Structure 1
Amino acid sequence: MKRGLFVPLAAGLLVLLFVCVHTIARLGLSDWRIDTSQDKLFSISAETRAILRDLKQPMEAELYLSRQALADDPIMRAHGERVRDMLQLYAAASGGLLEVHERDPAAFSPVEDAALKAGLTPIPGPLPDDPPAYLGLVLKNVAGRNLVLPILDPAAAGNLEYDLSRAINQLERPQRTRISLITGLPWLVRTDPITGQTRPVARMVASWMDTADLTALAPDFRAIPERTDVLIIAQPNPLTPEQQFAIDQYVLAGGRVLLFLDPASMVAQDGGGGPRSATEALGPLISAWGFAVQGDVIADRAYALPVETQISGRKAIAPQPLIFQIPPSGLNQQDAVTAGLPRGIHIATPGQILALGQGKAQITALLTTSQDTTRLDATRALSGLSPQDVELDWQSARQAEMIAARITGQWTTAFPSGNPANPTSGFTKVSVKPGEIIVFGDVDLLADSLYLGPDGEAADNARLIQNCLDVLTGQTRLLSIRARSPTPRPLVVVEKLRQAAQTRILEEQQVLESRLALAEARLADIEARAAARDALSQSLGTREIDQARQEVLATRARLRAVQEGVRQDVAGLKNQLIGICAALVPFVVLLVGLIVHLRRRPRRKLVWS
């Protein structure tokens, strides 16, 4: 072959090969893909495939996607494409039982009318005159039931598979979980005085009611409703012996309980309302179940969350040991309840769960503090202590504390004499079948303010409680899917640097306050004896006061230097990261290319020679 024809012919063959491979891939390999993302966000899990395989009746998924209206929004456009691709994966895995249809609801079209009638949420355009856009899903089955996802928010893109699988599972199995709730917290739920229906106040409760029928029991309840799947007891007011007996009989019958008993509810103290302490509300029940909730509060210095505080009259950020975040290392990764929660759990002023070692119950720790903890009186913990105050009271226990546990087994009644209101009636004395209780020594973790931030969820509190409900009701498939949500990637070095600097600031603050107290005491002593002093002693006293003031000013200057050092250290580290990304990586690529080029040059000379 002539050398001049080789290059054009090779190029033509490569183009032909590319076209053939591309055509074959589109025709026969459209459902094949390799998901190289760390969290496998572009594939579906084995649990989702199992849900789709178990479908008994055909379903139709109508995806309302405004193509033109969302074309100028790159985030919404990319999310819409991902939703479309994910639904195609679902359809392929369903064996033909799930059909996907895409609709484009243009402005003032019949398709837009159908979207509004179905209950989809319009997305307003960037300008007042822009038509609204839609990105939602309507699921239908042959039985005539519909389920609507009004908006598929890109902010919740990490939960897309869970949201889709939960909706399909809910449509396939319409029977809803029944939850009974006993609580004294007005910031959790409220009961409509006219209809008597339970209305959610906390966002977490609203999410429970999306998939379950929740009933808040009246303060004077006398029995647990029949067919209750899960009984939630969250910081109740003191219960009567008759009410305690009703709970006792429910548990002995094999009932499931989700329990929140807080020795010092910070949300209740700060104006949320409800009982501040509930460790004694259940009377003899918790000891009969084999555990206790201590009345003291646990503070954790290693896991402390940063809060705004006052240092020398100026606003500053400092770690507050009374409010802390339990990281994944403090969660039981072997238990389905707490596995796969990468953002950790936010906790405030919790109490310790103590195993009593009696009965046949098995207690498994779910949440554990660090070893840098201390105990505080519950009343003092709710007195508005600053981080500096907590540090002054610190007496390290040097041991990790259990603040949430899962208890399974069989129990004997806490009321051997029977119903206190009717001792002659029959009652259950021992467990008919094994029961299960999940207990938390904190109730503030349910509050919106503890885990929700301006950009959404800052911790996995809501996922943790939903995991509890799924485990207690046996819905473990959805639990596994929810655990596939994206893992956050915090700047660990930056956070450690900031936390260390905040600790240094607190130490400087303590020294400053001590010196201020000494100076004020000296000043008071000088003023008290002012009448008895001569001119020389007054001059010496004035000189002493000036020295104390100079010392205070010098300490304030050192404190400002520490604060400025924090900013400089963090800024310097960020500049280093920017430099690495902007210069080092391209330099490494260039260096590798140069090495490859130099190694290939002798070979070329040898061939041509």
Structure 2
Amino acid sequence: MTNKLFSKTGLVALAVLVLLATVVIQMAFRGARVDLTEDHLYTLSQGTRNLMQDLQEPVTLKLFYSRKATEGVPQLRNYANRVEELLREYVQASGGKVTREVIDPEPFSEQEDEAAGYGLQAVPLSMGNKEVYFGLVALSGGAEKGENVAVAETQTDTPTTDKGRQEIIGFFHPDKERFLEYDISNLIYSVGQKIRPKVAVISGVPVNGGYDYMSQRPGQSWMSITQLEQLYDVQYLGNTVKTIPDDVGLLVLILPDEVSDDTLYAIDQYVLKGGHALVFLDPYAEESAQGGGMMGGGSAPRSAYLETLLDAWGVEMVPERFVADEDHALAVGGRSGHPVRHLGILGLGEDSFAPDDVVTANLKSVNFASAGALKLKDNAPVTMEPLIQSGINSALLASEQLAMLYDPKVLYKDYQPAGEHYVLAARITGEVKTAFPDGRPQPKAETLDEENAPLDVMSESIVEDQPLPVEATVSEEEEEEVVEGESVDAIEEKPQIMASQKPVNLIVVADTDVLSNRLWVQVNNFFGQQMATPFANNGDMVVNMVDNLIGNADLISIRSRGQYSRPFTRVDMLEREAQASFMNKEEALTQQLQETENKLLALQAGKQGQEALILSDAQQKELARFQQEKLKIRKELRDVQHQLNQDIENLGTRLKLINIFVVPLLLTIIVIGLRIRQTRRQH
């Protein structure tokens, strides 16, 4: 039997059997994955899996990666392997809705032209002149190379796509590795939807331009809102709406200081049924009084606290106080013409941002003006995660000091740092109850006359700046209803929701001026086109917030993941210890050198004439002693470095021995033990 097995025919038969077994095993376990990494880097989160199952359209992913050009860059190649493996997981989780292509765009090839057609750009390597592609293109529907998305509106005002949608990630930078899954999931989700997400805005300031009564012409839209209009279907609601439309993916509130009780109730119900909200409050909204605003002349800056809803959410903005921060104060023009640091106008950097939240992780600078401070109330039912905080040398000053402030130096009079970080923007999550336990608020008996009625800024701006599409047919009664901010759905009262149907997800920002152009972007008119030159990341922050909140609960649940590159912590510790020892000895050498020089100067001070040029015996002995000490310390420095190298080498040797001998030995012992156990059972 043994001879037959080892004959030529037997070996061939055995090889064929092994090959067939391998094929069968591969087919049987095609979808099997075992992720042994500590942070499960190759395992998609449940939120991503839900998104892949809920895609409305098939999505094609094209990864453009210059494989040949990065042969000498192991860090980038390793990261590219991880991206490819993760994309393979997306394909598997989608159940056929996502397909993947990997393309190497070599120079002067059709593949490079294709990458350029999609808007990808080659990035030069720092160590040479080579340029590499490492980006991702996501296509849905009938989108083709280099085509922009065409959006048409039907009679029902529902946006649909003609040729699909196209989105790109220009370059996978290793520094943004923690958010790799979020970026890819967001990309796929964006193109996998048939319609553009709808964002509803309720604002107390004319963020979409409105009408400037002083100049008698339409005002300029805020660039932060213009960016949103380019990405989403933005609709402006009045301050007296009674319901929020069901198709609204995100509600943005900007200085909601004059909204009606009906609107507050509508916002409350929208949030409780699972709607997401982005809220901009302000203890002193300077932009609400710029140029007289919509009030026609010189009104004082307003404030918005939204106490009715924030009380139910368990959050508050400290009343009548703004955050003063000396460490981040920006310089403005003073009365004397010289720049003066303004305690209320803050330029916050990366040290003030939450590093593990996708909204703020990649921001560099955001400017605030007279921002408030958010606090979590006692026994609050929600969790507040700070996104942006002030520095430790901050204080809360009275907002009334900002009125008629001609010299910013006056603010320093009452400034005493509290040694506390104040929260300027935060994410609010948790289960909440309604702010209206007694039901929809009843209309007040007294009605304001037409002269004293609060002006509905956003409703009027709609009439002035946003005429209805020609295709739409609207009756006079319906048009009047739009102007007044009423909703047809308000006629049919829906059952009140008393508690959140799922955990709410809100972002609250304690500043409205952060949206205004003056704090982050310079806008110039260039031959009829607006040219925006940003000098801060305020606009990026707003887009990140909207992008994150509007996705859905699954997309929001995807947070930062671990790093693919794992440092040698033991080696790092050895290097830190050696560096500390090296610096101590180097400091001792420097100190002895200074002492020697002082002694030589003291001995030289009493000499005159030709004697000053000749070293005395004492000086020569001191120099000789120092030279000996210097050689000794330098030898000790070399010993420290040598010992570090030796420790690292010994550590590597131990690891090699473990991998070569100990692990196989353990496996052998385990196999022998199992064999002995099996033999005993048979007998």
Query: What TM-score comes out, normalization by structure 1 length?
Result: 0.52
Rounded to whole Å, the distance in 1 between the matches of 2:651 and 2:193 is 62
> CA-to-partner distance for each residue in 1:2-34, whole Å, 9 max, x for gaps?
xxxxxxxxxxxxxxxxxxxxxxxxx99998776
Name the residue aligned to 1:163: 183
> Cα distance, 1:262 vs. partner?
0.7
- Residue of 511, 517, 527 corresponding to 1:442: 511
Counterpart amino acid of residue 249 in structure 1: A
Rounded to whole Å, the distance in 1 between the matches of 2:68 and 2:358 is 43
Would you say 1:297 and 2:313 are equivalent positions?
no
> Cα distance, 1:263 vs. partner?
1.7
Name the residue aligned to 1:102: 102
Aligned residues of 1:239 and 1:281 also touching (Cα < 8 A) = no
User: Secondary structure, in 3 states, of the residue corresponding to 1:202?
Assistant: helix
Distance 1:289 1:309, change over 3 A: closer
Rounded to whole Å, the distance in 2 between the matches of 1:596 and 1:224 is 64
User: Secondary structure, in 3 states, of the residue corresponding to 1:182?
Assistant: strand
Rounded to whole Å, the distance in 1 between the matches of 2:372 and 2:390 is 11
Distance 1:47 1:316, change over 3 A: farther
Name the residue aligned to 2:234: 214
Name the residue aligned to 1:565: none
Counterpart amino acid of residue 320 in structure 2: D
- Residue of 378, 388, 407 corresponding to 2:399: 378
Distance 1:154 1:58, change over 3 A: same
Name the residue aligned to 1:410: 434
> Cα distance, 1:432 vs. partner?
3.1
Counterpart amino acid of residue 161 in structure 1: E
User: Secondary structure, in 3 states, of the residue corresponding to 2:558?
Assistant: helix
> Cα distance, 1:54 vs. partner?
3.1
Rounded to whole Å, the distance in 1 between the matches of 2:267 and 2:51 is 35
Aligned residues of 1:61 and 1:138 also touching (Cα < 8 A) = yes
Counterpart amino acid of residue 346 in structure 2: I
Would you say 1:180 and 2:200 are equivalent positions?
yes
Rounded to whole Å, the distance in 2 between the matches of 1:246 and 1:464 is 26
User: Secondary structure, in 3 states, of the residue corresponding to 2:247?
Assistant: coil
- Structure index of larger Rg: 2
Distance 1:281 1:137, change over 3 A: same
Distance 1:206 1:394, change over 3 A: same
User: Secondary structure, in 3 states, of the residue corresponding to 2:252?
Assistant: strand
Rounded to whole Å, the distance in 1 between the matches of 2:546 and 2:442 is 35
> Cα distance, 1:442 vs. partner?
1.9
Aligned residues of 1:284 and 1:414 also touching (Cα < 8 A) = no
Deviates most, 137-146 or 457-466: 457-466
Corresponding residue pairs, total: 452
Counterpart amino acid of residue 215 in structure 1: Q
Rounded to whole Å, the distance in 2 between the matches of 1:222 and 1:53 is 35
What percentage of aligned pairs have identical amino acids?
A: 18
> Cα distance, 1:454 vs. partner?
9.4
Rounded to whole Å, the distance in 1 between the matches of 2:288 and 2:175 is 30
Aligned residues of 1:176 and 1:213 also touching (Cα < 8 A) = yes
Aligned residues of 1:179 and 1:231 also touching (Cα < 8 A) = yes
Q: Which runs of 5+ in 1 are unaligned?
A: 1-26, 490-580, 598-609
Name the residue aligned to 1:323: 346
Rounded to whole Å, the distance in 2 between the matches of 1:372 and 1:586 is 44
Name the residue aligned to 2:136: 137
> Cα distance, 1:162 vs. partner?
1.7
Rounded to whole Å, the distance in 2 between the matches of 1:454 and 1:296 is 31
Q: Which runs of 5+ in 2 are unaligned?
A: 1-25, 144-163, 213-217, 449-483, 522-532, 568-636, 654-683
Rounded to whole Å, the distance in 1 between the matches of 2:382 and 2:338 is 44
Aligned residues of 1:290 and 1:355 also touching (Cα < 8 A) = yes
Query: What TM-score comes out, normalization by structure 2 length?
Result: 0.48
Name the residue aligned to 1:393: 414
User: Secondary structure, in 3 states, of the residue corresponding to 2:283?
Assistant: coil
Name the residue aligned to 1:590: 646
> Cα distance, 1:181 vs. partner?
0.8
Name the residue aligned to 1:540: none
Distance 1:216 1:482, change over 3 A: farther
Rounded to whole Å, the distance in 1 between the matches of 2:421 and 2:196 is 39
Distance 1:88 1:250, change over 3 A: closer
User: Secondary structure, in 3 states, of the residue corresponding to 2:556?
Assistant: helix
Counterpart amino acid of residue 297 in structure 1: R
Name the residue aligned to 2:479: none
> Cα distance, 1:101 vs. partner?
1.7
Rounded to whole Å, the distance in 1 between the matches of 2:285 and 2:640 is 50
> Cα distance, 1:149 vs. partner?
0.8
Question: What pairs with 1:186-197 in structure 2 (closer than 5 Å)?
Answer: 189=208
Rounded to whole Å, the distance in 1 between the matches of 2:59 and 2:185 is 13
User: Secondary structure, in 3 states, of the residue corresponding to 2:227?
Assistant: helix
Question: What pairs with 1:557-572 in structure 2 (closer than 5 Å)?
Answer: none
Distance 1:399 1:136, change over 3 A: closer
Name the residue aligned to 2:553: 476
> Cα distance, 1:364 vs. partner?
5.0
Distance 1:192 1:76, change over 3 A: farther
Deviates most, 583-592 or 263-272: 263-272
Distance 1:349 1:133, change over 3 A: same
Name the residue aligned to 2:584: none
Counterpart amino acid of residue 262 in structure 2: F
> Cα distance, 1:201 vs. partner?
1.6
Rounded to whole Å, the distance in 2 between the matches of 1:199 and 1:70 is 45
Name the residue aligned to 2:303: 279
Would you say 1:152 and 2:139 are equivalent positions?
no
Rounded to whole Å, the distance in 2 between the matches of 1:582 and 1:91 is 55
> CA-to-partner distance for each residue in 1:325-361, whole Å, 9 max, x for gaps?
599999899xx9999999998754222457899xx99
Structure ranking higher on relative contact order (CA contacts 8 Å, 6+ apart):
2
Aligned residues of 1:138 and 1:148 also touching (Cα < 8 A) = yes
Would you say 1:249 and 2:266 are equivalent positions?
yes
Rounded to whole Å, the distance in 2 between the matches of 1:67 and 1:280 is 54
Aligned residues of 1:64 and 1:136 also touching (Cα < 8 A) = yes
Rounded to whole Å, the distance in 2 between the matches of 1:199 and 1:73 is 46
Aligned residues of 2:313 and 2:381 also touching (Cα < 8 A) = no
Aligned residues of 1:65 and 1:135 also touching (Cα < 8 A) = yes
Counterpart amino acid of residue 434 in structure 1: A
Aligned residues of 1:162 and 1:478 also touching (Cα < 8 A) = yes
Aligned residues of 1:180 and 1:214 also touching (Cα < 8 A) = yes
Aligned residues of 1:451 and 1:461 also touching (Cα < 8 A) = no
> Cα distance, 1:233 vs. partner?
1.1
Rounded to whole Å, the distance in 1 between the matches of 2:639 and 2:333 is 41
Name the residue aligned to 2:469: none
Distance 1:150 1:340, change over 3 A: closer
Distance 1:240 1:294, change over 3 A: same
Aligned residues of 1:59 and 1:139 also touching (Cα < 8 A) = yes
Rounded to whole Å, the distance in 2 between the matches of 1:69 and 1:152 is 15
> Cα distance, 1:295 vs. partner?
4.8
Name the residue aligned to 2:223: 201
> Cα distance, 1:200 vs. partner?
7.3
Rounded to whole Å, the distance in 2 between the matches of 1:48 and 1:289 is 25
Counterpart amino acid of residue 440 in structure 1: V
Name the residue aligned to 1:230: 250
Rounded to whole Å, the distance in 2 between the matches of 1:484 and 1:443 is 32
> CA-to-partner distance for each residue in 1:211-234, whole Å, 9 max, x for gaps?
x43223468988754532332111
Counterpart amino acid of residue 278 in structure 2: L
Would you say 1:432 and 2:497 are equivalent positions?
yes
Distance 1:164 1:389, change over 3 A: same
> CA-to-partner distance for each residue in 1:37-64, whole Å, 9 max, x for gaps?
xx88x64542466247637786432223
Name the residue aligned to 1:542: none
Root mean square deviation of aligned Cα? 6.4
> Cα distance, 1:269 vs. partner?
8.2
Distance 1:332 1:59, change over 3 A: closer
Rounded to whole Å, the distance in 2 between the matches of 1:180 and 1:51 is 25
